[in-house]
Amino acid sequence: MKSEKDILLFKYGGNAMTDHGLKMQVLRNICSLKNKNFNVVIVHGGGPFIKLSLQEAGIESEFVDGQRKTTPEAMEYVEMALKGRVNGSLVSIINAMGHKAIGLSGKDGNMVVAEKRLHRREKNGENEIIDLGQVGDVARVDPSLIHLLLNNDFIPVLTCIASDSNGIDYNINGDMFAGHIAGRIAAQEYVVLTDVDGLMLDKDDPSSIIREIRLSELIQLKERGIIQGGMIPKIESCEIALNNGAACARIINGTMPGQITGLFDSRKAGTIIRK
């Protein structure tokens, strides 16, 4: 059964996760939105924690076009980092604040079914397919467990691991994972926390922030090279969310927690993307 209240889904990660004091503020402000009659879902990745776990295990990371190859041995440590170190910490903090958090991955309740990602790139004029190991994409989402938890006043805290139909585990890009979830649970707002104030026409000029934009207008910004670097997967996840059922998406600065509580007090927080 669909949740009775409007849902806000937050994609959480980056600098707002590695600084403990900032993490406390971010989580407190996210959870405070429950008092404004919203249901809250948190989706997180944890790249820095994965890196640390692999280093501690003596496993070297190999990257292909910015994507980490994930061997079966590495996958064990990826899951330990995301489910154990990161997810467990977030759940403990939220519970200590007086809320009821549930830590899950896409594997739980078969919420997300993954499929293997084959990385394609052009080399010497020919298409090349590279096997990234246990790196996956979202094949489908069953939102029923999330709605069940929300209707019983829990805060689902989800990390980006899922199994395929054969039970093989995959590490999925956190932004893509969050976008698919936001769409399928019909989030009223999908909020991506980054380390900048929003989408800029000039990344070095904060005053060039775009306050509101339509999906159709993003194509031109990509062609002009305005959407670049780490902003690319954030924007792609917003497109996924909006095309699959989310009402709107917003990119805000997660290192400024006041932007979270100001989401509905001021319409000037971050960049809003509408379909």
Please write the tens of the pLDDT for every residue from 148-195.
999 999 999 999 999 999 999 999 999 999 999 999 999 999 999 998
Region for 125 from its dihedrals, namely left if φ exceeds 0, alpha if ψ lies in -120 to 50, beta otherwise: left
Q: Which two tokens stand for residue 244?
A: 């699959």
* Residue whose entry in the numeric block shows the structure tokens 């924690």: 49
Q: Which helix (H) or strand (E) holds 134?
A: strand 126-141
CB environment 107-136: b (16+ within 10 A), e (fewer): bbeebbbbbebeeeeeeeeeeeeeebbbbb
CATH class of 7-274: alpha beta
Measure the CA–CA gap between 194 and 272, rounded to whole angstroms: 14
Kindly report, residue by residue over 27-58, the tens digit of the pLDDT: 999 999 998 999 999 999 998 999 999 999 99
Kindly report, residue by residue over 120-155, the tens digit of the pLDDT: 887 777 888 889 999 999 999 999 999 999 999 999
Query: What DSSP assignment string belongs to 184-244?
Result: HTT-SEEEEEESSSS-BSSTT-GGGB--EEEHHHHHHHHHTT-S-TTHHHHHHHHHHHHHT
What local confidence, expressed as pLDDT, does residue 230 receive?
85
Sequence-distant (6+) residues with CB within 8 A of 167 are none
* Residue whose entry in the numeric block shows the structure tokens 């980490």: 68
Burial class of residue 265 (count of CB atoms within 10 Å of its CB; 0-12, 13-18, 19+): exposed
What is the domain partition of the chain in residue ranges?
A: 7-274
Kindly report, residue by residue over 225-241, the tens digit of the pLDDT: 889 888 899 999 999 99
What local confidence, expressed as pLDDT, does residue 93 receive?
97
What local confidence, expressed as pLDDT, does residue 267 receive?
58
Prediction pTM value: 0.94
pLDDT higher than threshold 90 for residue 214: yes
Q: Which helix (H) or strand (E) holds 113?
A: strand 112-123
pLDDT band at 16 (very low <50, low <70, confident <90, very high): confident
What local confidence, expressed as pLDDT, does residue 194 receive?
92
Measure the CA–CA gap between 195 and 254, rounded to whole angstroms: 6
Residue type, 174: G
> Helices then strands (H, E): number in the chain?
10, 14
The crossing angle, in degrees rounded to 10, of helices 88-96 and 20-32 is: 60
Share of the chain above pLDDT 90, in %: 73
Kindly report, residue by residue over 88-132, the tens digit of the pLDDT: 999 999 999 999 999 999 999 999 999 999 888 877 778 888 899
pLDDT band at 266 (very low <50, low <70, confident <90, very high): low
CB 238 within 8 A of CB 271: no
